[in-house]
Every structure is written in structure tokens, then in C-alpha cells.
Amino acid sequence: MLQMGHVNREQVLSQRGFRRDDRTDWWFSRNLRKAFSHQAIRDYDEQSWRQALNEPVSQTEFAFYFLNQPSNGEDAEELARAWQLSNLRPVIKSQVSLRERMSRPPTLTTIDDPNYWARLSDEQVIEQMQRGQPDSPIWKRAKGELEIRERKRQIQAEKDAKDPQEDFSFITSLKLRRIAERDWKECCRARTAKCQKSVLILVGGILEAVLLSALSRRSAKAKTTAAAKGQNSDITRWELGTLLAVAKELRMFAPAIDTFPSPLRKYRNLSHPGFEIRENINFNEHDAETAFSALRSILAQMDKKQR
């Protein structure tokens, strides 16, 4: 039963600003930093439900309420990506963990304890501030907390401006997507540090992940192209040069796909000095920037297809 007294639990969530994800049957709120599975809404006992509904969540976290503790956090991480919550740490909760927490004796905190403020939203901090007179201890502490949070947001905004954010949710393989996301962050850092060779190697790996995902969806057609003739029947074994040629033949990602510099096609071997000497591979900052820009253009095309 979806009941909390005489009030439907889903109605309560809706009234509090939660919305339902029709694809997953989860209810979530970005403002409250919480999400409830259909099973949790349906089967939580009354005490656990009230605890989950009313407990505060840290500014840096997002709480996922499952009925039972999952074996790993992949589902929560997947949902966090789908809802674009990459700046928050997923925290998994279940009815068992809530009961354990309720059975513990309460921990007393004071306004000088950072844990006191960590569980409060900005609105709740402002409420605390308004309870005190100007320049009173709680007024000063709340004002300082808001200033710290604003500074942290500014630092994050500056970081995000330097490191362009990209959405890789179009890559259906979770393992492949995680590799692309990890390498993208590293690629941005390498670009900022002017590490041109590293940028080329990382762009090549990310591009390979993108092309593998895109061509796997049309594998039958990809395998019949002239560029795929004589290649392994397993697309995951194709090298980047082949993936690029097949994608170009299928007229995918034009015109960006035509702008990748030639050293990128053999990016796997760029880490070997002997190969660099034998093949007389030369590259510069222009090549790295061209590769980076072309990759972003392809990612933008993938993003538009998803909308």
C-alpha cells in the first residue's frame, strides 16, 4: 500500500517537489537531494518512511532510498548520471540502514561543529541566521557558512569553465562509459597543462569509445562497408583507423570526422618511442587542439541526437 496515514505517499512526494522518472519509476528531487525507488515507497514501514522523508541530506550528497541494500552502487551512479547529478556523491540507503540509525543514541552537536551545518540546506542555514540577532554567535556562524558555500561554488564554477563538461550517457555500455568519462577528465587536465602527446592519446581513446558505441548499434551495416573488409567480425577489436574509416563511409559525424590529425589514427602506439621514431610521427599543439575540438564536435552531435 502506498499509504502514510490517509495520504498517498506519492502525493506527499509530489507536494514536496519530487517528480517521477517514468523510465525508472523513481521519484527524485534535486532541491532536497533525495530519490525513492518504487519499492521503497510501497514497502517502507511507517517509521522508516518518515525518517527517510524528513532527514536532512548533506549539500555534497544525494541520497538514494532502496528497499533493500543493493550489492553495489552502480544503479545509483547510473541514475545520478541520467539526472545530471555528477557534482554530488551518491549515498545509498535502505530500510535496514534507516532502522539501525534510528536505534542509535542521538549525537549532540553545536553550532561550532561543521557536522551541524553540513546537513542543512542554504534555506535552512538562512533560517538559523534569522533566529539570532545581527552579530550574535549563531548569526555570525550561519553567515560564515553561507560565505564558505558561495566561495566553494565559485571555485567549482571556475574549474568547470576550464574543464568543459560533456555528457557520455549515449554510451550504453556502463563499463565503456566510465572509461570515457574518466579519460575525458584526464584529457582536460592534460590540455590545460599543454601535454600535447597525452591529449592525443586520450582523445584517441575517447573517440574509440564513442565510435564503438555508435557503430555497435548498426553493426550489421558497419561490417558490410568497404573499410571493414578483411577486418575481425568483432567490432571491439577494430583499431581507431578502421573505426574512423567505417564511420566516414557511413557518413557519420561529418564534417568533424574529417578533421582529426593523422597521428591520432595510431594513438595506441604513440606511447612507444620506437614507433614514433620509425614512423617519423610529428605533432604539435595545433594537432592536439584540432583533435580536441573535433572530438567535442562529435560529442555535441551525439548530444543533439539524444534530445
Q: What is the spatial distance between Cα 267 and Cα 214, in angstroms, rounded to a whole number?
A: 20
Q: What is the spatial distance between Cα 69 and Cα 59, in angstroms, rounded to a whole number?
A: 23
pLDDT reading at 39 higher than 50: yes
Question: How many percent of the chain have pLDDT more than 90?
Answer: 20
Q: pLDDT value at position 305?
A: 65
pLDDT reading at 5 higher than 60: no
Q: What is the spatial distance between Cα 28 and Cα 2, in angstroms, rounded to a whole number?
A: 16
Average pLDDT, the chain: 82
Region 176-204 average pLDDT = 90
Residues 6+ away with beta carbon under 8 Å from 62: 33, 34, 35, 80, 85, 88, 89, 90, 91
Region 258-284 average pLDDT = 76
In this structure, are strands 61-65 and 34-36 parallel, antiparallel, or unpaired? Answer: parallel
Residue among 114, 91, 19 nearest 125 (CA): 114
pTM above 0.75, yes or no: no
Domain boundaries, the chain: 3-103, 114-162, 174-306
Distances in Å between the Cα of 32 and the Cα atoms of 13, 56, 246, 300 are 11, 8, 46, 30
Q: Indicate the residue type of 25.
A: D
Torsion of CA 190, 191, 195, 199, to 10 degrees: 80
Region 157-186 average pLDDT = 81
pLDDT reading at 88 higher than 80: yes
Region 230-256 average pLDDT = 88
pLDDT tier for residue 1 given thresholds of 50, 70 and 90: very low
Q: pLDDT value at position 210?
A: 92
Q: pLDDT value at position 268?
A: 66
Residues 192-229: tens digit of each pLDDT: 888 989 999 999 999 999 999 889 888 899 999 999 99
Q: What is the spatial distance between Cα 291 and Cα 294, in angstroms, rounded to a whole number?
A: 5
Q: pLDDT value at position 179?
A: 92
